């Protein structure tokens, strides 16, 4: 954080933890001994101070068939609102460099990846609104399968292949179901964590009351045990359409500011049965 921003940080934290919606979080420590990082070494780019950023952030958004048109519209609107919010812009401003690099990718089955908004530097309201407008104006699409493992592979390659130099690299993945194509999600997750990237999750549970399999699965627990990883990683479940925008805003602010939840907000895995991560792989 920059010097002289203590009051701003306190205000930001108060705003974050004042938001009222259900949270479920797990700080993850993943053992990845003797596993090589995914993908080849990043291409060599000449040094450019303009490419230094606080965070390289991939927004990986689920567009599988289980996401109906209304839910996709709510999802899009939530990201647009969060990316242009006062809290998000303040979090960027408080960083040591004061800018981030972000890309927005939609995903479904294996190799079904659609880059809606390519890597862009956001450092002020104008750049944030320009990036958000690309997302808002893009046509909606829908695919059939859900390959979290493939989405993670694509996300890490996007981080490794861009020209930016971030102090942190974060993959922000959202979805409303488990991995059902593309191999073991935990193996992919553990592999890519060796590159130092943090994976945070946004499990979408808006149908949990009407969808039997989603309710039985405990998707928030699935994301905690099988998807997220890295120092300070967390998952924030979305349980209603009304809470979607708040959840995304809080998640993005925490990722940009590098904040973590106090212990009182952390749900310990040892307090419940662990999820069988390979049940749908």
User: Angle between the 185-192 and 148-161 helix axes, to the nearest 10 degrees?
Assistant: 20
Give 243's Cβ-side CA count (13 Å radius).
17
Tokens of 131: 């990036």
Tokens of 120: 């862009």
Burial 133-154 (b: 16+ CB within 10 A, else e): eebbeeeeeebebbbbbbbbbb
Domain assignment present for residue 276? The answer is no
Task: Look at residue 227 in the predicted model and tell me its pLDDT.
Answer: 97
Domain assignment present for residue 277? The answer is no
Task: Look at residue 86 in the predicted model and tell me its pLDDT.
Answer: 97
**Domain count for the chain:** 1
Domain assignment present for residue 251? The answer is yes
For residue 138, give every residue at least 6 positions away whose Cβ sits within 8 Å of its Cβ, in sequence order, or none.
116, 117
Distance CA 155, CA 40 (A): 14
Task: Look at residue 264 in the predicted model and tell me its pLDDT.
Answer: 43
Residue numbers of the domain that contains 139: 22-30+51-271
Task: Look at residue 235 in the predicted model and tell me its pLDDT.
Answer: 94
Domain assignment present for residue 17? The answer is no
Q: Among 150, 151, 195, 153, which Cα is nearest to 41's? A: 195
Task: Look at residue 214 in the predicted model and tell me its pLDDT.
Answer: 59
Task: Look at residue 81 in the predicted model and tell me its pLDDT.
Answer: 96
Q: Is 24 exposed, middle or buried (0-12, 13-18, 19+ CB in 10 A)?
A: buried
Distance CA 104, CA 15 (A): 25
What CATH number should be reported for the domain holding residue 152?
Answer: 3.40.50.410
Domain assignment present for residue 256? The answer is yes
β-pair partners for 113? 107
Tokens of 254: 């925490």
Domain assignment present for residue 1? The answer is no
Q: Among 122, 125, 101, 93, which Cα is nearest to 4's? A: 93
Domain assignment present for residue 193? The answer is yes
User: Angle between the 69-83 and 244-257 helix axes, to the nearest 10 degrees?
Assistant: 40
Categorise residue 201: left if φ over 0, alpha if ψ from -120 to 50, beta otherwise: beta
Q: Among 193, 217, 169, which Cα is nearest to 29's? A: 193
Task: Look at residue 70 in the predicted model and tell me its pLDDT.
Answer: 86
Task: Look at residue 17 in the predicted model and tell me its pLDDT.
Answer: 45
Q: Among 228, 109, 112, which Cα is nearest to 179's? A: 109
116, 34 contact by CB (below 8 A): no
User: Angle between the 86-93 and 125-137 helix axes, to the nearest 10 degrees?
Assistant: 130
Task: Look at residue 44 in the predicted model and tell me its pLDDT.
Answer: 58
Distance CA 54, CA 105 (A): 20
Secondary element (H or E) of residue 56: strand 52-62
DSSP secondary structure of 120-138: EEE-SHHHHHHHHHHHHHS
Q: What is the mean pLDDT of each successive set of 10 residues along the chain, which is 281 residues long?
A: 41 48 39 38 68 97 87 92 97 96 95 96 98 97 91 96 96 93 94 94 82 69 95 92 91 87 50 83 72
Domain assignment present for residue 164? The answer is yes
């Amino acid at each position: 954080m920059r010097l002289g921003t203590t009051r701003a940080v306190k205000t930001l934290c108060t705003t974050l933890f004042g938001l009222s919606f259900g949270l479920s979080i797990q700080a993850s420590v993943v053992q990845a001994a003797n596993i090589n990082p995914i993908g080849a070494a990043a291409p060599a780019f000449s040094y450019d101070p303009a490419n230094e950023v606080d965070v390289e952030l991939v927004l990986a958004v689920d567009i599988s068939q289980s996401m109906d048109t209304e839910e996709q519209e709510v999802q899009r609107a939530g990201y647009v609102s969060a990316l242009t919010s006062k809290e998000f812009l303040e979090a960027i401003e408080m960083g040591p460099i004061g800018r981030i690099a972000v890309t927005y990718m939609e995903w479904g089955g294996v190799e079904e990846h659609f880059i809606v908004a390519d890597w862009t530097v956001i450092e002020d309201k104008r750049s944030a609104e320009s990036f958000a407008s690309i997302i808002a104006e893009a046509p909606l699409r829908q695919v059939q399968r859900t390959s979290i493992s493939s989405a993670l592979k694509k996300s890490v390659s996007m981080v490794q292949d861009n020209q930016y130099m971030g102090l942190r690299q974060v993959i922000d993945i959202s979805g409303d179901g488990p991995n059902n194509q593309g191999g073991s999600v935990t193996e992919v997750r553990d592999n890519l964590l060796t590159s130092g990237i943090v994976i945070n999750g946004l499990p979408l549970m808006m149908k949990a009351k009407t969808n039997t399999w989603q309710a039985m699965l405990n998707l928030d627990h699935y994301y905690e045990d099988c998807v997220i990883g890295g120092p300070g990683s967390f998952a924030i479940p979305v349980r209603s359409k009304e809470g979607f925008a708040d959840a995304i805003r809080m998640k993005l602010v925490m990722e940009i500011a590098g904040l973590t939840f106090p212990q009182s907000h952390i749900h310990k895995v040892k307090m419940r049965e662990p999820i069988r991560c390979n049940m749908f792989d």
